[in-house]
Amino acid sequence: GELEGDTILESEYVLLLYFLGRSGEPRARKAAEYLRRKQLEGGGWAIYPGGPPEVSASVKAYFALKLLGDDPDAPHMARARRAILDLGGIEAANSFTKIYLAIFGQVPWERCPAVPPEMILLPRWFLFNIYQMSSWSRGIVVPLSIVWAHRPYCPVPARASIPELYRDGAHVAPVNAPSTLKGRLWRTFFAFADSCMKEAEKLPVKPWRGRAIRAAEQWMLARLDKSDGLGAIFPPIVNAVLAFRCLGYPPDHPVVAGQLRALEKLEIEDGDTLRLQPCFSATWDTALAVTALAESGLPADQPALLRAARWLLDHEVREPGDWRIHAKRAEPGGWYFEYANEFYPDCDDTAQVLIALSKVRFPDPLEEQRRRAAIERGVRWLLAMQNRDGGWASFDRGCDTEAFTYIPFADHNAMIDPSCEDITGRVLEALHVLGLGTSAAAKRAARFLLRKQLPDGTWYGRWGCNYIYGTWLALWGLTREVLDPADGRIERAAAWLRAHQNLDGGFGESLRTYDEPGAKGIGPSTAAQTAWAALGLMAAGRGSAESLRRAVSYLVASQRPDGSWHDEPWTATGFPRVFYLRYHLYATYFPLLALAQYANEVP
């Protein structure tokens, strides 16, 4: 299914095309038209439908449109300019936005945070090395460090410059201003380190620079094999193109051309517009669809399920990747999110694929043996990725050094990859399905979840919106074999769900809960979130029977004639407070799963 992101994708694509001398192509014109159609009435651009204007997204969109010739006095540009200035102007934009603008001469490089390539040379035992960053930040930052070191300049005509977006140095608080003393101390330390690195940049001799740039180049090249672009996600791919061009690779070099083809695969042309997906979600969608179909009554050897299972088996990871740094003894296994991303399997996908594969059976003995072997490898890999606190993160083990969140270029709010309540709940379900629900690993995971339960009974949702998602997965995992539904902690979570059911029987929650926790559980009903809540209520037992019946009635009544459901609100999370997502298939396989579970489990 389509994976939809915000307009930062189209804006950065236009900037990249301009950098490459390709801004005259139809794809740039169509991306610009998409930006115009996504502009809010107030003039800015939001990072999710119904959200407020966001300064970085708005600055990039305005600059992209101006680069392609939009008249700054046109009504839509005048409205955008006013909105951006009201939000704090360029000064309030995040670090990555400023670095992009610096490439085009719109922000002095001195105002951008230092991203020195020498950090790739730091030994792995050192507290601050690149493998203490989240995998997605690593993929963004390594190529970006090459860009920062070269400081490329792509001139733009005077008519396209954006000095009008400055507020004359008006002070704007940092995006992630720390609220604790420890945070303020780390922020002060990194600010001092940043200033020192910028002073060192003025020295005529940089003894480690050449070696660092070569190491960063080799790091990127090593991760392009069996991958749809660096990290198989939009930001690292774009930064890789910029970095390779800085290193002198011509546009038609196979490495650069390969990254550009990966970006082109993400394009969705729709009439006069063009939008981009941040990546593909093929493995994720397939595993969840198989699970929902199997639960809905298809036999374990049904041909469609077997075809999907073969596809999943073909995409098993069989080579070590970055995860090996912190799980040295683990053997390759697991699954990644996209069509091709061999270096980066993740725990969430792996758990869901294991659940899906457990529900199929191949008539052919050799295929059945292959299925079982893949499950065994996946389980071993997953267990090796459990963190010391008992939980599971996304891509790495032990990637939770909080100090990294205060680095000046860390204002994208995604520098580390700590244990997540939602992923841990899903892994706990997978362990139950595979007969490991009472294992030591499962008991440690349960203790982690119980420690993370909030006073009102909910759990935070890191990868889905938000407390409904986290609470469903925690309840589903805990009640498989660890806790009885009558346990007070389970009932507390169920009571919260019941209290936040809408009058129409559905459930909904807005992405603004990541900024305003007081809004948790409040929002228009969506099919996906109603399904999550229904699954959570089922896990909580009979005390929620009436609320569950109303949720199921909402799903039945809102189903479309073709059998699907449709959700306009976005319900998924990339980076909380920074980047959100809409999975177009969420509104179909989750309701199907909830209705199937209801039919199977409720008398």
Convert the pLDDT of each residue in 114-142 to its tens digit: 899 999 999 888 878 999 999 999 999 99
When pLDDT is averaged across residues 53-68 and rounded to a whole number, the result is 98
Percent of the chain predicted with pLDDT > 70: 95
Tokens of 160: 């396209």
Q: What is d(CA 242, CA 230) in angstroms, rounded to the nearest whole number?
A: 12
For residue 518, count CB atoms less than 10 angstroms from its CB and return exposed for 0-12, middle for 13-18, buried for 19 or more: exposed
When pLDDT is averaged across residues 511-515 and rounded to a whole number, the result is 95
Place of tokens 């046109």: 74
Q: In the structure, how many helices (H) and strands (E) does the chain have?
A: 21, 5
Contacts of 515 (CB under 8 A, 6+ apart): 577
Tokens of 557: 């009544």
How many angstroms separate the most distant Cα atoms in the chain? 77
Model-wide pTM > 0.75: yes
Query: Between residues 306 and 176, which one has the greater pLDDT?
Result: 306
Short-list 424, 419, 382, 420, CA closest to 400: 419
Are the C-beta atoms of residues 474 and 434 closer than 8 Å to each other?
A: no
* pLDDT tens per residue across span 14-28: 999 999 999 999 999
Contacts of 169 (CB under 8 A, 6+ apart): 91
When pLDDT is averaged across residues 366-388 and rounded to a whole number, the result is 98
Backbone angles phi and psi of 160, in degrees to 5: -95, -5
When pLDDT is averaged across residues 330-357 and rounded to a whole number, the result is 97
Percent of the chain predicted with pLDDT > 90: 85
Neighbours of 134 (CB within 10 A): 22
When pLDDT is averaged across residues 171-188 and rounded to a whole number, the result is 59
Residue 76 has pLDDT above 80, yes or no: yes
Q: What is d(CA 496, CA 504) in angstroms, rounded to the nearest whole number?
A: 17
Neighbours of 245 (CB within 10 A): 21
* pLDDT tens per residue across span 222-278: 999 999 999 999 999 999 999 999 999 999 999 999 999 999 999 999 999 999 999
Residue 348 has pLDDT above 90, yes or no: yes
Q: What is d(CA 118, CA 208) in angstroms, rounded to the nearest whole number?
A: 7
Tokens of 474: 């925690």
Short-list 274, 285, 387, 399, CA closest to 335: 285
Residue 337 has pLDDT above 90, yes or no: yes
Backbone angles phi and psi of 253, in degrees to 5: -65, 140
Residue 412 has pLDDT above 70, yes or no: no
**Alpha-carbon dihedral 325, 577, 82, 109, rounded to 10 degrees:** -20
Residue 444 has pLDDT above 80, yes or no: yes
Are the C-beta atoms of residues 36 and 61 closer than 8 Å to each other?
A: no
DSSP state of 340: S
The per-residue pLDDT for 190 is 65
**108: helix, strand or coil:** coil
For residue 252, indicate whether it is catalytic: no
Tokens of 593: 């799963």
When pLDDT is averaged across residues 545-558 and rounded to a whole number, the result is 96
- Strands 3-4, 579-583: parallel, antiparallel or unpaired by DSSP? antiparallel
Q: What is d(CA 255, CA 219) in angstroms, rounded to the nearest whole number?
A: 13
> What is the rounded average pLDDT for all residues in the chain?
93
Query: Between residues 195 and 216, which one has the greater pLDDT?
Result: 216
Q: What is d(CA 427, CA 434) in angstroms, rounded to the nearest whole number?
A: 11
Contacts of 224 (CB under 8 A, 6+ apart): 230, 255, 258, 259
Q: What is d(CA 217, CA 56) in angstroms, rounded to the nearest whole number?
A: 28
CA distances from 18 to 29, 153, 449 (A): 11, 12, 48
Short-list 428, 480, 461, 427, CA closest to 573: 461
Q: How many residues are recorded in the chain? A: 603
Which one from 70, 194, 346, 348 is the annotated catalytic residue? 348
For residue 571, count CB atoms less than 10 angstroms from its CB and return exposed for 0-12, middle for 13-18, buried for 19 or more: buried
The per-residue pLDDT for 170 is 46
Q: What is d(CA 579, CA 235) in angstroms, rounded to the nearest whole number?
A: 12
Percentage helix, strand, coil, to 5, in the chain? 55, 5, 40
Neighbours of 328 (CB within 10 A): 9
First to last CA, the chain: 33
Q: What is d(CA 537, CA 546) in angstroms, rounded to the nearest whole number?
A: 10
Instruction: With cut-offs at 50, 70 and 90, classify the pLDDT of residue 484.
Output: confident
Question: What are the beta bridge partners of residue 583?
Answer: 3
Tokens of 283: 């493995």
Neighbours of 303 (CB within 10 A): 9
Short-list 321, 347, 337, 346, CA closest to 277: 337
DSSP state of 363: S
Residue 174 has pLDDT above 50, yes or no: no
Residue at 533: amino acid letter: A
Instruction: With cut-offs at 50, 70 and 90, classify the pLDDT of residue 172.
Output: very low
The per-residue pLDDT for 466 is 94
Q: What is d(CA 110, CA 496) in angstroms, rounded to the nearest whole number?
A: 49
CA 76 centroid distance within chain = 30
Tokens of 395: 């891509």
The per-residue pLDDT for 192 is 65
Q: What is d(CA 373, CA 87) in angstroms, rounded to the nearest whole number?
A: 55
Instruction: With cut-offs at 50, 70 and 90, classify the pLDDT of residue 183.
Output: low
The per-residue pLDDT for 145 is 96
The per-residue pLDDT for 300 is 97
Q: Which of 323-327, 538-542, 589-593 has the lowest mean pLDDT?
A: 538-542
